[in-house]
Structure 1
Amino acid sequence: MNIDTADIKAIEAIVATAERTQRAKDAEGFLALFHPDALWTTAHGKVLIGFDAIAEFTRTVLPAANWDGDVTYEAIHIEFLRPDVAAVKIRQIYHATEGDSEGSPLYVMTKQADGTWLLHAGQNTEVRV
């Protein structure tokens, strides 16, 4: 399968936007990354089906999050399942004075007719050592 480097850069830009919006605790900016039919599972196992459920949860939880806003996201692996579907493994680290915590999200992203990529399914997992 031929992969367009522009698609890789677009996916990396979505991950960078996820990081930026999480740092800013910007629920609306984060929600703009989701497909209307998205499915999301939080790091603690809460299943959210559809944009409305994801939005309700995000608008409640993100602005009140108890970290100081210092978080980093890195796309550590991008696997194209089809030219318009990618599985993206993320390394997510929340930096806090009492110590860092890590998440390991998996995003399934879909390329839209206009060429943009959106989060279509996601599973976040808390990393415990």
Structure 2
Amino acid sequence: MRTDRPTVEAFDATDATRAAEVAAIRQVVADASEFQDDVERFIPLFTADTTVVNFGGRRVAGRDTLAEAMRQALASPLADVVTTLEEENIRFLRDDVAIVASIKHVSDRRQPGADGESVTPLHASSGRLTHVLVKEEDTWRITSSQTTPILG
């Protein structure tokens, strides 16, 4: 009898482990979407050295800088720009590194200012969002995130 081949139980355990990892990753991405207007709940989802490139092309490096950028955005009319995600796929580069590809749908609810100042329209209503997640001490966190607007 060959002993170098995995048993069915080993495959089942591996499949169950991978399913649990996928579920944990999906939860982080869902939480990031849900907490987009809550700095205190959003920021812990990211690594300390995270890099985020937002819908407008602004690059923000580091969790502390991201927190400050979020606070500024939420104190501005950008607080009325809301996004939802549609996952396309999850791909593992290693057991502790995953890439999540999604479509980001943007709803711009900004209104003209009290003085009649117009709102500059966003250049797209959807984008391709790519998150890179890493597993740190048994917790998945976003280490890189980029949204590329879909034009036309």
Q: Which TM-score tier does this pair reach, normalised by the shorter chain?
A: 0.7 to 0.9
Match of 1:120 in 2: 143
User: Cα gap change, 1:28/1:7 in structure 2, threshold over 3 Å: closer, same or farther?
Assistant: same
User: Cα gap change, 1:93/1:51 in structure 2, threshold over 3 Å: closer, same or farther?
Assistant: same
The one of 77, 95, 104 aligned to 2:128:
104
**Bigger helix share:** 2
Gapped regions of structure 1 (runs ≥ 5): none
Deviation at 1:95, TM superposition (A): 3.0
Q: How many residues align?
A: 124
Per the normalisation by structure 1, the TM-score is 0.83
Gapped regions of structure 2 (runs ≥ 5): 1-13, 111-123
Q: Distance in 2 between matches of 1:90 and 1:63?
A: 27
User: Cα gap change, 1:102/1:63 in structure 2, threshold over 3 Å: closer, same or farther?
Assistant: farther
Match of 2:45 in 1: 33
Q: Which has the higher contact order (CA 8 A, sep 6+)?
A: 1
Deviation at 1:67, TM superposition (A): 2.9
Deviation at 1:103, TM superposition (A): 2.2
Per the normalisation by structure 2, the TM-score is 0.72
Give the secondary structure class of the aligned counterpart of 2:24: helix
8 Å CA contact 1:67–1:94 kept in 2: the answer is: no
Match of 1:90 in 2: 102
Any residues of structure 2 matched to 1:8-23 within 5 Å, and which?
8-22=22-36
Give the secondary structure class of the aligned counterpart of 1:105: strand
Larger Rg: 2
Structure 1 segments of 4 or more deviating over 4 A? none
Q: Structure 1 vs Structure 2: percent identity of aligned residues?
A: 31
8 Å CA contact 2:80–2:109 kept in 1: the answer is: no
8 Å CA contact 1:27–1:63 kept in 2: the answer is: no
Deviation at 1:106, TM superposition (A): 0.6
Q: Distance in 2 between matches of 1:86 and 1:116?
A: 13
Q: Distance in 1 between matches of 2:58 and 2:81?
A: 23
Is residue 61 from structure 1 mapped to residue 81 from structure 2 by the alignment? no
Q: Does 100-109 or 12-21 show the bigger shift?
A: 100-109
- Report Cα offsets for 1:10-54 as digits up to 9, x if no partner: 1111111122112xx112222121101111111222111111221
Q: Distance in 2 between matches of 1:66 and 1:32?
A: 20
